[in-house]
Structure formats: C-alpha cells, structure tokens
A and B are shown apart, each in its own frame.
Chain A
Amino acid sequence: MISFSELSKHSYLIRQYLRRQIALRYKSTALGVAWSLVNPLCMLVIYTFVFGVIMHARFGLGNGETPIDYGLAIFCSLNFFNLCGEAITRSPRLILLQPNLVKKVVFPLEILPIVSVLDALVHCVLAFVPLLVMVAIAHRTIPWSFAWLPCYLIPTTFLALGLGLFLSALGVFIRDVENLVAPGLTMLLLVSAIFYPLSVVPDSMRFWYSLNPIVIIVDGARRSLIWGIPPNPVSLTMVTLAGAIFAFLAGAFFLKAKPAFADVM
C-alpha cells in the first residue's frame, strides 16, 4: 500500500518541488512574499465591512461582539476552507499537465499532489500571521488561543491531501471532474457554515452538517482562535482520524491507478 519509506526517499524531490513552487508564486512580482499578507488584509477589511457593518451579522459567541470580530471569524474559517479548496481546484488537471513525467520518465507522481497541498499549507500558515496581529489589536491582548492552531491544521491538511490524491488520479480518467469542481466548490463553501454560525442551522439539518468534516473544523477553529473556547477533544480526534484514513485510502487509490495513467494520456 502506501509506503512511507518510499516517501521519505523522495523527500529531496518534495523539498525541491515545494521550494520551486513557492518561489514561482511570487517570482517576478514587485511585492513578492508581501502578497500573501496584503491579500488577506484586504479580504479582512471587506468581510468586516460587508458582513459586519452592512449586514450586521454576528456569531453571538463572545460578549460585545464587534463587526471586526465577525470579519476575523470569517477570515479564519475561510483560511481553513481554502486549504481544501485549493486541493480541489488544482488537482483534476495536476497530472494531465505533466505528460512528460507520466510517459517519458519514471517519476513518483504521487509527490505532485503532495507538493501542491504542502504549498497551499505554507500559504495558509502565512495568512494566519495578519489574523494573529488583527486579533491582538482588536482584543488588546496576546491571543494565546493561537496555540490551538495546529490542532485544526492537521486534520485540514489530511483532508486536503486525501482530496488532492483522489481527484488528481480521478481527473486523469474522468475529464468531467474538471468541470464539476467549480460549482462543487461553491456549493461546498455555502454548506460548510463559513458565513453563518452553526446555531442558525435548523435542527433537522444538524445531522447532515455534522457529517461535514470542514464544518467541524471551521466552527471549532473560530471558537478557539477568536473567542478562546477550548476545542472539543472528541470531535477533533474523530475528524483527525477520519482525515488520516481518507488520506491513506486516497493514496492507495492513487498508487493503484498510477500504472494506468500512461495508457490514457
């Protein structure tokens, strides 16, 4: 099945590709790495203005919740969501864009989705820096709650890895996947309770929401990071385990499908 010793053997390749991919993102732009700070800040302002000020939306979790809190919560939720979202949008074409690596050389293709997810992870982590600063300014304290960040990042990364491995292998054979991801992603965004608290979801739908691991992650994460409510260890463990199993199965699926890639490209 998935051999982790194989992966560690390719650690040099993964490092090199990751380094290159990160460099490519900002190479030949004037602001360089600053973009990963400027972008989130702009979004933060927009969320705060539109949802917090104009629509008066509130999560209703802390005392005296301000429009800024609402913007910070959405920003935090979206950061987690985007890690999976990037895996979903990039993966279907990931292998198809590298016909040489499939047909001309023997290449451990599994590192392509892995590198893609690690790249997204790096940018996700970077985007938490402005969030941390904004929370510190808004609450006028050092937000120790950010120590819980890894608890939520780990299951999200597992989910993204699983999605990346599964969709990149599937995309080689089923070209329709590419057309499905855009509307699929929008639907997922809207049902993942990013822009509204879980408390406004009707009771009859709660069960279905609880099946969505992203809901568990984003809801827990904004409670913990913005409002300092400790994570629920049971649901967090469940979601981490489920993510790990999903990533493992997706990896097995990828390796099973890999020998057939060259037949259809």
Chain B
Amino acid sequence: MSSTLDLQQAEKSPVAQDSLLVLDRVSKSYRLWHRPHDRFLYGLWNQVPPSFPDRVRAFAERRKAKLGAEVFGLSEVTLSIKRGKSVGIIGLNGSGKSTLLQLIAGVLQPTTGDIQINAKRVTALLELGSGFDPNFTGRENVLLHGSLLGLTEAENRARLPEVLAFSEIGDYFDNPVKTYSSGMVMRLAFASSITVHADLLIVDEALSVGDVFFQQKCYHKIRDLVKGGVTILLVSHDMRSVGEFCEEALLLDKGRIAFFGDTIQAINQYYTISRAYLRPSPSSGTPPKESTWKVTSQAGIHQLEPIHENNRTPSTDAAAAAFLGFALLDQHGVSTNYFHQGDWLRLIFEVGIASDLENITPGVILRDDRGLFLHGKYEFQLDPIKLRSCKKGDVFRVSYAVRLDITAGFYTLSLAMLSIPATVIREGKLSFADFEQHHMNVCGTGPITSFTVSFSPDRLGSNFSHFGTFDLPTRFGIEQDEFFG
C-alpha cells in the first residue's frame, strides 16, 4: 500500500531524485511602496477569499494596484540544480542575481511560483557577519549561528575547535564581536558557515573581502567542500573565479534566465550581453555639432565607425590632430567584437591632421574590464624606429594588429598619438629616460570600442592556453643529466 503511494508521489512531482534545488516558475516582484503601511493594506486586501463575489474582488484588485508600482526583480525562473554541482550565477547589475540567492536562502519569499530545496541544511554567505550580534562574543555568535541552522548542541560544540583554527582569531574568540576588526568578523563568519555541514552553500561575492591569503584559504576550503559533494551557488562578477570554480553557470538578464549550462558558453553569452549594454546610445545627450572632421568615405574598403568628438582629447577643433574613425576586424577582415584566444585582432583607425606635424607616432592601448592598463604599443616601438611627418589637411588610415594571447575576458581599446623630437634618437636608438623626458602628447581618445575574448574551441589540447592575464612564450622539456644519464 505504502509503496504505491510512494510511486504516485514520485510520478506527481516533476523533481528528479538527484535534484537538490528546484525552482518552478518563480517570480519576485517588488512594489515601490509609497509608505510602509501600504504594504500592510496590500496584505489585508490580499486576504479577500476567491469565494467572494467578483465585484468585491475587482474592487480589492483596484485598491491593491493603487498602493505601489510593481517592479519585477525576477520573472518566471524555472531551474533545477543537481546535487553536488557547483553552479555560477552571473549577470549584469540589476539582473536579479542577489534576489535569486535571497529567495533560495529563504530571506525573501517569492511573489509567485514554488521553490523546493531537498537539502538538509542551507548556509548562505550573503553578507558575511551581518547576522552576528555585536554584543555577543565570537563563541556565542558561532553557537547561535549553528543553533539557527538547526545543529544540535553537541554538533554545535564539536565544531568550535575547527572554527577557531580556521578563523585564526585566537584569544578574541571570547571577546564581544563589537571589538573585532571587520576582517576578523568576516573570517569568523566564513569559518562558522563552512563548518555546519551544509549540503547547499550559497556564496555571494563574499570572498572578495579579507586579505589575499585568507581569500586563497577560503577558495581552497570551498574546493574541498565541492569535492566532498556539497552543492555550491556562486554569484560573482569575476568571470575568472566563475570559470575556475563552476561546472555550470546560470546567466540572468533583466530578471530572466538568458542561459543555463556550460560555464564557458555562459561566460561568452555574458560578454555578448554586456557589450550590447556598453554601446553608448546614439540618442543620448545633445546632438553632436557639425565637426570640422569627417570620416573619409572614399578610400578603403572598410566602413569606419566615427569617433565622437567628446571622446577625443583634446576635444576642441583647435587640436593639431584628431582620431576620426575606426574599424575592428578579425584576421579575415570581417568586422567583429568577438575573438578567441590566440586570434589576431585588426584595428584600422583614421587620423586627421590640422597643422604641420613632424615625428609623430600612433599607438593603441589595451585595458581590461576594470580599466586596468594591460598593454600599450606605439608604432615607434617596432624595429627600426619609425616616425612620421604630416602636412596640414592630411587624412590617413593606420592599420594595427595584435595577437590576443590573453585570458578570456572583456577588453577595451583606446588610441593615442605622440611626437618625439628626432634629436633624442641617437644612431637609431631611444632610451626610456630620453623618451620619458622629451615625448609630447598630440592627441588621444578614451575607450573607443570593447571586445570579448573567449576560450578557443579550435585549440589543440586544453581550450585555455594559460593561467593569468597574458600568455608568455613558454617551453617545457626534460633536462638531461649529462654526467649520470
């Protein structure tokens, strides 16, 4: 009898046995309440039972609609996560990542839909230490935390030595948390969270705090937990840690699932989405006034995108020269913003000259998604040193190519032009000290375009060429010992 019941139960529920977490059309809408008590009135109108006459229900609906504007944080998210997986959750700001985590952690309730968690225990590293009571000692807080998560008193006490060892806070353990430094609070909270034997661990960029050694320790610990079969949800803007940690990734865009599956594909899609947002909208601001410079249309086979004069330095027409337009191409000359590791990137840009200039040299600057200067190269840095001279009214195009031996990510390009007096170049050589002292900036730009580099599908062996930012020329071999070999 009971076995039939179980079978029926199993048939009814769409949940596979190994699914740890199932979200069924989960939506969370926020209302921007005009006043806090509007939320209370909303709750009251919500109590109108469905058995009431339509007229009454319609009235209640109208009253509810007046109480605040509805904003969707998350809509119709359906998702199933298997036990033991480590899943990254990525998306731009405001895409609903944190809302999703808070729903799974149980801090927020879904507006509609159903969340099923088949976990014995869930811990969330949402904001480390935010649940601690500053008046309690570290020990008391750890015990309270464990008790909140349903540990028995014996289990709770048994984990104290491990917490103490991992957090490295020593004698402070029995001092009130309000006397701790912020780093100590974070370490204690992390140590407490990972020792509760949770089977679902939710991490929300919590690890971006603390010194680098403790961060590494945390990542090691999380790796161990993953090996031990703990399911991990990691929310991060850092694609490197997502790529490193997660077997699967969930990409959210405007509160909806844009992609769920292979991490690398998800990261690539993330960059595609972010690129669409990064393009400045043409309608924004005042319409650009008629510029003295026009991108030449007669020469060349490539259509150039104009560089807006607000993006030029100096931005006045009085500049001696200006960058006018550019085209970003792949190695086959096709216009693109999307590259694989090891591909050649080609950039064609157009320069307009407003007064006679001698000994100028154009350059291109590569920055990463955080604006960090990664690489800059001017034409003069190629061998032999080559400087150009131009006449007023000249317009010419420069072609630049670079091999993208860099890690997968999101990058921007900027342009610059220098002039270097010919006198400091002696016998075809230029020292760094002379360059620093004598070079002059002619003109430049802010980031003119962005592009994405993803792991190469065509690469032999591993699809990632190296770790770290740049790939350096590298050789490996076995050293033969000549005497004893």
Contact = CB atoms under 8 A, between A and B. Distances in A.
A176 B38 CA distance: 13
B272 interface: no
B43 A264 contact: no
Interface string A1-43: 0000000011011001000100010000000000000000000
B355 interface: no
Given A104-B107, A105-B107, A105-B148, A260 B131 contact: no
B124 A105 contact: yes
Interface stretch (A60-68, A121-129, A167-175, A231-239): A167-175
B119 to A, nearest CB: 13
B108 interface: yes
B107 A106 contact: yes
A100 B130 contact: yes
Contact of B39 (A104, A176, A264): A264
Interface string B140-152: 1001100110100
B131 A104 contact: yes
Contact of A259 (B33, B109, B136, B148): B109
Contacts of A10: 147
A101 to B, nearest CB: 7
Majority secondary structure of chain A interface residues (helix, strand, loop or mixed): helix
Contacts of B108: 262
B133 interface: yes
A13 B107 contact: no
A203 interface: no
Given A172-B36, A173-B36, A173-B37, A260 B43 contact: yes
Given A13-B147, A106-B105, A175 B126 contact: no
B381 interface: no
B105 to A, nearest CB: 7
Nearest to A10: B147
A104 B106 CA distance: 10
Given A24-B135, A105-B148, A257 B43 contact: yes
A12 B126 contact: no
Which among B33, B39, B124 has the greatest number of chain A C-beta atoms within 10 A?
A: B39
Given A104-B107, A106-B106, A174-B40, A20 B133 contact: yes
Given A20-B133, A105-B107, A9 B37 contact: no
Interface string A42-81: 0000000000000000000000000000000000000000
Contacts of B482: none
Interface string A178-209: 00000000000000000000000000000000
A175 B107 contact: no
A173 B35 CA distance: 8
Which among A100, A106, A176 has the greatest number of chain B C-beta atoms within 10 A?
A: A106
B31 interface: yes
Nearest to B109: A259
Given A9-B150, A16-B143, A174-B40, A263 B126 contact: no
Interface in B123-140: 124, 126-127, 130-131, 133, 135-136, 140
A103 interface: yes
A144 interface: no
Nearest to B127: A104
B315 to A, nearest CB: 45
Contacts of B109: 259-260, 262
B219 interface: no
B124 A20 contact: no
B143 A173 contact: no
B153 interface: yes
A107 B39 contact: no
Contacts of A24: 135
Interface in B84-141: 105-109, 124, 126-127, 130-131, 133, 135-136, 140
Which among A10, A173, A256 has the greatest number of chain B C-beta atoms within 10 A?
A: A173
Contacts of B136: 16, 20
Contact of A263 (B33, B148, B150): B33
B37 A175 contact: yes
A24 B133 CA distance: 13
A13 B148 contact: yes
Nearest to A13: B147
Contacts of B135: 20, 24
Nearest to A100: B130
Contacts of B36: 172-175, 264
B30 interface: yes
Contacts of A170: 40
A172 B150 CA distance: 27
A262 B150 contact: no
A85 to B, nearest CB: 24
B147 A264 contact: no
A264 B126 contact: no
A104 B130 contact: yes
A19 B36 CA distance: 33
A173 B39 contact: yes
A111 to B, nearest CB: 10
A260 B110 CA distance: 11
B198 to A, nearest CB: 13
Contacts of A262: 107-109
26 contacts: A10-B147, A13-B148, A16-B136, A16-B143, A16-B144, A101-B131, A104-B130, A105-B126, A105-B131, A106-B105, A106-B106, A106-B124, A106-B148, A170-B40, A172-B36, A173-B37, A173-B43, A174-B37, A174-B40, A176-B37, A257-B40, A260-B39, A260-B109, A262-B107, A263-B39, A264-B33
Given A13-B144, A16-B144, A173-B43, 18 more contacts: A24-B135, A100-B131, A104-B126, A105-B130, A105-B131, A106-B124, A107-B131, A107-B148, A108-B148, A173-B36, A173-B40, A174-B40, A175-B36, A257-B40, A260-B39, A262-B108, A262-B109, A264-B39
Interface of A: 9-10, 12-13, 16, 20, 24, 100-101, 103-108, 170, 172-176, 256-257, 259-260, 262-264
Interface of B: 30-31, 33, 36-37, 39-40, 43, 105-109, 124, 126-127, 130-131, 133, 135-136, 140, 143-144, 147-148, 150, 153
The list of the 3 closest CB pairs from A to B, nearest first, reads: A173-B40, A105-B131, A104-B130
